[in-house]
Amino acid sequence: MAVDAIWRDFLSMTGYLRTINSSRSIAVAFRELKEEAKPHDFKSTPDSCEIAQFGPQTAWINAGFTFKTYGKLEGNCSGIVSMIPDTEQPGEWKIWMLRTWLENFEGCGHPDVLDPVSHLSNGHPTANGVPNGDSNGTGSRTYGAVIVGGSQGGLACAGRLKALGVSYILLERNEQIGDTWANRYETLKWHLPFDRTYLPEEDYLLPARHIGAGHKRWAERFDINMRLNTTVEKATWDTSSGVWDISVASPSGSCALKAQNLVLCIGAGSSIPVTPSWPGRERYKGSAFHSVEYRSAEPWRGKRGIVIGTANTAHDVAEDMVNAGFSSVTMVQRGKTFVFPAEVLHHAQNILYNTNIPTATADRLSSTFPNKIVREFTNRAVFRAADEMAAYFDALEAAGFRLDRKGDIYDNLYVRFGGHYVDVGTSARIAKGEIKMKTEAVKEWTEHGLRFDDGSEVEADLIVLCTGFEHDFRASAREILGDVADQVDEFWGLDAEGEIRGAFKPAGHPRLYYHGGDVRMSRWYSRFVALQVQADVLGKPLEPYLETP
């Protein structure tokens, strides 16, 4: 094994989500874990051996394998071992990366195997032969899990739990599944490979309403058990019974539910808007609001606009203003912004995420990499593209855009929680001067716009604050958990091992999970949330076998 080897495990042996660095640490951990997890029956996966290559000078050999564990439950597990030549012993190979994950518990279903609605049971549609259960929310039973939130993360968890035969109910505050996306600003467009949800004739970059429609189709296709137009008022942990007491309200009235587990999919870091506190807000006579309230620039057609911020949403809003014939559009930028063309992202995603490779297979090959390895590979690819596209970036800087040509996308995604722009067309509008840049700090509001530290003023009829959201998920959870939110783990960012903090595993409170992130992350990690919930429902909850960082 290479001295700097790395091992990432998803529940299979550690009972947790772990990344262990160095051959010495891996050896120590394995000796301890084999007593707890009792791994055995290792078998190579037929036809899985392949040469993996990244760039002209980086290559290794991958080989797949399966094995079983005997912890509290018998687990069926899979893995990929990556090997490189041993420079000290010619002709020999050594392991530099190991990836392992729990597939399912023996005889307890599989989280990836969810069949579409196929027949009726007692008059109710079913999938996998598992009835929907109590869909009227009368509280007549204790669910294995109550899922709060019906967007990507919530739907993914619900589907996995149904595949495993675990009783659940999904609560969504909107009137329809998909409204979380469909009700966003009209020009939003993104690439979200949510299983085989979207239609062949739809654009590669999906408008928000199409994303919402895809979620709705998926929920209907698999008959997800849910209550719509329902708000969770309070969730209280009953220590004596080990059950969550959950109060919910809907137009038809209030009721109480009980659940062994509570999964919060309420928009991690994207539900509580953050707004600047510049003085003189009362003086401004135009329209101003946070991007969460923004829908379209059309009501202000031909007017003047200011957009505060330069991340994804800000670019979308600025381009919408240009398309609405605004006489002037100005983006206000505080610091350098990492920008890269969508084509770079699409080229990388299309290698695995396409119509030829099953999504579950693509997730295993892509999402199991240790985060530090993916960071390195991603940055190499992005930096190489930046060098090859110098003219593209030169044009942006010439237009006054403060550019971070070689930013760290993993820092944006996993530490800053945003702040970058995947260019789907707006950068060209900036380079052409159709969108003006202002890089001075805002001093105050004026009657007709904003005044900056250099004394200049920019006038506008519409000001949209694309200034992000509160990133402490505990602030969002407080609306449901009350003061209990103070007891749960810090959310997001990377821990000492490079794993995401506070998400996809017990969140520092009994049987409480946070789940969210982009669609690929939601889909992959939802299987492990579901497996942890299933183990608890079976009366054999998983616990970390090693001291966690």
Give the chain's length: 549
Position 147 in a domain: yes
What pLDDT does residue 93 have? Answer: 93
Contacts of 351 (CB under 8 A, 6+ apart): none
Position 87 in a domain: yes
The one-letter amino acid at 356: N
What pLDDT does residue 346 have? Answer: 78
Q: Are residues 89 and 208 in the same domain?
A: no
Q: Where are the beta strands (DSSP E) in 46-198?
A: 50-54, 58-70, 74-85, 93-105, 119-121, 124-127, 130-131, 142-148, 168-171, 189-190
- Chain centroid to Cα 50, Å, comes to 29
Share in percent of the chain as helix, strand, coil (round to 5): 30, 30, 40
Q: Are residues 340 and 307 in the same domain?
A: yes
The three-class DSSP label of residue 358 is: coil
Q: Are residues 131 and 180 in the same domain?
A: yes
Which tokens sit at 414?
């996993």
Position 335 in a domain: yes
Q: Are residues 388 and 403 in the same domain?
A: yes
What's the CA dihedral at 359, 364, 370, 374 to 10 degrees? -40
Position 403 in a domain: yes
What pLDDT does residue 192 have? Answer: 54
Q: Are residues 479 and 419 in the same domain?
A: no
CB atoms within 10 A of CB 79: 24
Domain end among 54, 81, 105: 105
Position 275 in a domain: no
Q: Are residues 477 and 359 in the same domain?
A: no
Query: At 50, which CATH number?
Result: 3.10.450
Give the number of domains in the chain: 3
How far, in Å, CA of 421 to CA of 311, rounded? Answer: 5
Query: At 400, which CATH number?
Result: 3.50.50.60
Contacts of 57 (CB under 8 A, 6+ apart): none
Q: From edge to edge, which strands make up the β-sheet containing 304-308?
A: 287-290, 462-465, 304-308, 328-332, 436-438
pLDDT per residue of the chain (549 residues) written in tens, 0 to 9: 999 999 999 999 999 999 999 999 999 999 999 999 999 999 999 999 999 988 778 899 999 999 999 989 999 999 999 999 988 888 899 999 999 999 999 999 999 999 888 644 444 444 444 444 444 444 457 999 999 999 889 999 999 999 999 999 999 999 999 887 777 777 776 655 445 556 666 666 777 788 888 889 889 999 999 999 999 999 999 999 999 999 999 999 999 999 999 999 987 666 788 999 999 999 999 999 999 999 999 999 999 999 999 999 999 999 999 999 999 999 999 999 999 888 887 777 778 877 788 888 989 999 999 999 988 888 888 888 889 999 999 999 999 999 998 888 888 888 787 889 989 899 999 999 999 999 999 999 999 999 999 999 999 999 999 998 887 778 888 889 998 888 888 888 888 999 988 889 998 888 999 887 666 788 899 999 999 999 999 999 998 888 766
Residue numbers of the domain that contains 99: 6-105
How far, in Å, CA of 436 to CA of 458, rounded? Answer: 11
| Residue 339 DSSP code | E
What pLDDT does residue 200 have? Answer: 65
Q: Are residues 190 and 266 in the same domain?
A: yes
The three-class DSSP label of residue 215 is: helix
Q: Are residues 421 and 498 in the same domain?
A: no
* pTM for the whole structure: 0.91
Q: Are residues 195 and 313 in the same domain?
A: no
- Chain centroid to Cα 359, Å, comes to 16
What pLDDT does residue 318 have? Answer: 97
Position 219 in a domain: yes
The three-class DSSP label of residue 76 is: strand
Position 343 in a domain: yes
Which tokens sit at 92?
């020999």
